[in-house]
Amino acid sequence: MPRQLRAEQTRATIITAAADLFDLHGYERTSLSDIVVHARVTKGALYFHFAAKEDLAHAIMELQSRASRRVTNEVDERGCSSLEALIRITFALTRLTVEGPVTRAGLRLATGGVEVRPPLRHPFTEWLEIATRKLRGAARESDLHADVDVHAVAHSLVCFFVGTRIAGRPLEPVARLPRRTAEMWHVLIRGLVPVHRRPRYLTLATQLEREITAV
């Protein structure tokens, strides 16, 4: 195996192991020695890629941010309505959270006191901008009540989305997240969307939940 490819694979193994431990135990309670054991690498291999635990945390948050941008771009390419796009983005992020530790750990790190270093942006800020942009589009497309305060709704939606993950972490299995995301949307759709347009979006939320849980 070429040396560069082997190094890339080792780096990915270390990141995944660190994300798993950060997600399970938190940043402060996870040591570099724990990560070495969990990743099954040497200390030398770890320090070759990461000088400190903070660098590992930042790499995980960077991967989470990259994944968020990727799923947003993928949904945008579908050309669907703004509200449908926003619903699909939240479920795509939920799927990432269910399928691997990096997204879960990235959010836990960013909301657990680990500094988000520039140029990386806090996930709350990124998601708030996405939600605001999509909700503005939904308002223009008459998928929201005319008197909706887009900024207030965007902030509440992101708090709802993030809070469900933080509050549910010690109480529920991660497999429960698609149900919680669907519940969030059923509440929001009934409060924000004109009656004649609700069935389409309620059905979509239910469908997207089923697609994740069926895997």
Domains and CATH numbers, the chain: 3-213 (1.10.357.10)
Mean pLDDT of the region 192-211: 97
pLDDT in the model for residue 59: 94
Distance CA 111, CA 124 (A): 9
Higher pLDDT, 212 or 117: 212
Does residue 185 contact residue 143 with C-beta atoms inside 8 Å? no
Please give the pLDDT value at position 81.
97
pLDDT confidence of residue 214: 76
CA 160 to centroid of chain Cα atoms:
13
Q: Which residue has the tokens 């069935």?
A: 199
Q: CA-to-CA distance for 214 and 69, rounded, in angstroms?
A: 25
